[in-house]
Chain A
């Protein structure tokens, strides 16, 4: 009952007011936010623990190649034993290469690739502003589906995606630092009654070919 109430509350979480900052302070804040995203092509391998609606847990291994210059992400999900259950590329469009049941639902493909893009691709800088809101400094970007906020703290960073009405759709939080400043752990949360959460533990990361 408590988690149901919490889910409803999270589902209604609203975008905080932003008190904008300008000049050198803005530039410094935007630079900090930029640093949350890979600046060049990068490959990540993660263990993934998924908590699905209803509370069942599933574990996978994910390989992601991010190419910021092409605004593309390539993602493979496999079982711990190495069976590929899902593979897709999202660039100018979404191309699903492999999707085995039950991951063959188009909503799943679009959703997972959107989550990966939100985590690794910096929103367009020209749409960004910086300020104080939600209890700390954050950058705010206007995107086609609504708004993306990036908040950098001492212990990591958080990304929030809000819909056009300002309701929270996704939250990504990063903590710990592995090699090359890559976060050791990422948590992706989709709030609401049909919400889910993913915990990604870094196995390895390295620069990739552009």
Chain B
């Protein structure tokens, strides 16, 4: 009985110790968020099967008196389907699947496939976005990634030729696990784009037809 009593006492002490440690761990987790390390981010993102988010894009340039605002919606479905859709000022849809990126632009006769010069730059960014949604910031051969306190990630081109197009990309992660709050794409000190996400829905049902040509 004594021994048993000692064991019981020990057994009784251990859960208390664990209970005391729990708020500390939670506190640390809240302090660090879900973005304390690359592994934390990746593990959180692994639970995501789909993402839908509205976005407001503001383009800043010296030639403009105020930012040019574009609005749209992002759809992502694991493992690699992405739809980047603008509702204004120009209605268009970028689709990414395993076969690359295709853009459709709405004109008088409905949506038509587009072959403009900007597509290559956007192809890079769209591929990046699909990596980010999966919590993968480090595997891109074109960018080096740096994780800063407060969930700020900075991506810098590894090659000079690429930095002619994009100097750096700054991502701010939301406190909500798995969610990116905003993306800033810096082309030069005078020209940059800020994309803010809103109304993010994670793991909602998503029809495959969204990822087919409109």
Which chain A positions have C-beta within 8 A of B121? 79, 81, 83, 85, 100
Which chain B positions have C-beta within 8 A of A65? 63
Q: Which one of B68, B86, B118, B164 contacts A45 once the chains associate, using CB atoms below 8 Å?
A: B68
Which chain A positions have C-beta within 8 A of B164? 100
Name B residues whose Cβ lies closer than 8 Å to a Cβ of A: 57, 59, 61, 63-65, 68, 70, 84, 86, 89-90, 92, 94, 103, 105, 107, 112-119, 121-122, 125, 164-165, 185, 187, 191, 193
Given A59-B105, A63-B64; A82-B116 close (CB under 8 Å): no
Chain A interface size, as a band, is 20 to 34
Q: Considering only CB atoms, which chain B residue lies closest to A52 in the complex?
A: B115
Which chain A positions have C-beta within 8 A of B59? 78, 82
A47 within 8 A of B: yes
Which chain A positions have C-beta within 8 A of B90? 47, 59, 61, 80, 203
Instruction: Convert A24-60 into 0s and 1s, putting 1 for each residue whose CB lies closer than 8 angstroms to a CB of B.
Output: 0000000000000000000101010110000011111
Tell me the minimal C-beta distance from A16 to chain B in angstroms. Answer: 30
B116 touches A59 (CB 8 A): yes
A12 within 8 A of B: no
A84 touches B191 (CB 8 A): yes
Given A47-B90, A57-B112, A74-B63; A81-B118 close (CB under 8 Å): yes
B116 touches A83 (CB 8 A): no
Which chain A positions have C-beta within 8 A of B165? 83, 100
A103 within 8 A of B: yes
Q: Considering only CB atoms, which chain A residue lies closest to B121 in the complex?
A: A83
CA A55 – CA B119 in complex, angstroms?
Answer: 18
CA A100 – CA B124 in complex, angstroms?
Answer: 15
Which chain A positions have C-beta within 8 A of B119? 79
Q: 7 tightest CB-CB pairs across the interface, nearest first?
A: A79-B118, A58-B116, A83-B121, A82-B59, A59-B105, A82-B193, A81-B122
